[in-house]
Amino acid sequence: MAGGIFAESGADLELVGIHKRFPGFTAIENLNLTISAGSFFALLGPSGCGKTTTLRLVAGLEEPTSGQILIGGKDVTSTKPFQRPVNTVFQSYALFPHMTVLENVAFGLRRRRITDPIAKAHEALRLVELDHLAARKPQQLSGGQQQRVALARAVVNRPALLLLDEPLGALDLKLRRQMQLELKNIQNEVGLTFVHVTHDQEEAMTMADTVAVMNKGQIEQMGAPEELYELPKTAFVANFLGQSNLFTGPVTASNSESITVTVAGAQIVVPKSRAQVHDGTITIGVRPEKLSLLTEAPAPTTGVNVIGPGRVVDVSFSGVSTQYVVEVPHIGPMIVFAQNMVFGPVVNVGAQVWMSWTVDHGFGLSDSPVPEDADLATADLATAQIATAHAAAQAGD
C-alpha cells in the first residue's frame, strides 16, 4: 500500500548552531545537524546526553537559547508546537481510553476538519495491520497493539517529521524486536522523515539509515550504522556502540599503508585508513567478535595481530555466543565473543590462551578512553524537571 493518503514524502530537518541552557547547566552546545527528507534517523546516546531535549526543541516543546530550527527549509524556531508539521509518538502511548481505536486515530483529523476522517483512519489502521480491531477500546489491546495505534494516529496526519521518543521502551524484548522491523517497513512505505530518539544501540542500528551518537550535548559521530560500529572515531563511540578492546601505546613504525603500535611488548598493526591519528601515543581497538581464541602461541603471520598469553578468568554463555574474559599481563582484561558452534565452551576458566585478529579489523581512535570513575553523563531530565527549569529560567529574566 505504497500509494493512497501516505504518498507525500517528509521534509528535511536542519538544526543550525543550537544552544539550550537551563539554570545551572547547558543541555545542548552548538548543535549543527541536517536530516534528509524521507530518511529514518536515530539520535542515540546515554541518559543526560541531550537527545530528549533536542527532540523537544524540534517539537516546539522547548525554545532554543540560540540557533535556528528549519523544517523543509522554513524557519520554525519561534513557531508554536501545533503549527509545526510534526507529530510525536511517546513511550506512553497516551490513547484516549473512552474512545475506540478508530476514534483515537481519527481524532486529530476531525480537530483539523480534514475531509473524510473515518476513511483516512481506516487506511492508517490497515497500514499497521489493526483495522480489524477498529471497534475495540485501547484497554482491550496488548502493549504492542497500542503502540501501533499510537503510530497510526501520528502517521495519519501526514507530518513532515515523525518524532519517536523511546516508543518501544515499554515492550518486552521479543515484541520490541518485532516492532523495530515493523516501524522500518512502515517508514519505507509512507516515505515520511522519522527521527527516533533512543538509548538502545541495537534498536538504532536495526532501524535507522543514519545514526548520530550524542554525548554531553554534542554529536560525537554520525553515519551509517555499520560505519559507526566498524570504524568508531572516539573511545566514547567505541564503548557505547557495542563493546571494544582498547589499547594505548606509542606508534613505533609506519609505512604508506599502516602504522605499528607497541602495546605491552606486542606489535599491533593498524591500517592508516582505519586510524584517526598516525603518530605519537594513540589508542587503538578491536571488537570482541573479531578475535580468535588460540590455545597455543601462533606462528607470526603477515596481516594478523596476536596478543598473549593471557589467562581466561570468566566464561559466560549467552545463547548464540559465549563471552570469554581473558586477563593479559600489563594490558588487563580482554573480551572475546565466540559463536557457539559446538556444545560447551571452547576453553574453560584458568586456560592459557592467545588472541589473534586480522589487521583490517582494527581501528585507531582520535582520543583516549575516559577513566571508569569519570562522570560521563548526568541523569536525563524528566519532563516535569525540564518544565521546572524552564519556569525558573523565565522567572530570572
The residues spanned by each domain of the chain are 4-229, 243-364
Q: What pLDDT shows up at residue 80?
A: 93
Which residue in 61, 60, 65, 1 sits closest to 27, CA to CA?
A: 65
Distance from C-alpha of 358 to C-alpha of 133, rounded to nearest angstrom: 53
Cell (9 digits) for 229: 560500529
> What's the order of all strands across the beta sheet hosting 40-44?
86-90, 161-165, 193-198, 40-44, 210-215, 218-223
pLDDT (tens place) for every residue of the chain, 397 residues total: 333 444 356 789 999 999 999 988 889 999 999 999 989 999 999 988 899 999 999 999 999 999 999 999 999 999 999 889 898 888 777 789 999 999 999 998 888 888 888 998 998 898 888 899 999 999 999 888 888 888 888 888 888 898 988 877 767 777 778 778 878 888 888 888 999 998 888 889 988 999 999 999 999 999 999 999 999 999 999 999 989 999 999 999 999 999 999 999 999 999 999 999 999 999 999 999 999 999 999 999 999 999 999 999 999 988 888 999 999 999 999 999 998 877 767 889 999 999 999 999 999 999 887 654 444 333 344 444 444 554 555 455 4
CA angle 13, 17, 18 (to 5 degrees): 75
Q: Which CATH class is domain 4-229?
A: alpha beta
DSSP string, 128-139: TT-GGGTTS-GG
Q: What pLDDT shows up at residue 267?
A: 95
Q: What pLDDT shows up at residue 364?
A: 97
CA angle 59, 62, 64 (to 5 degrees): 105
Q: What pLDDT shows up at residue 188?
A: 82
What amino acid is encoded at 331 in this protein? I
Q: Which CATH class is domain 243-364?
A: mainly beta
The reply to whether 243-364 shares the fold of 4-229 is no
Count CA atoms closer than 13 A to 212's CA, side-chain side.
22
For 302-380, list the strands marked E by DSSP.
Answer: 304-317, 321-328, 332-339, 352-358, 363-364
Q: What pLDDT shows up at residue 175?
A: 73
Q: What pLDDT shows up at residue 269?
A: 97
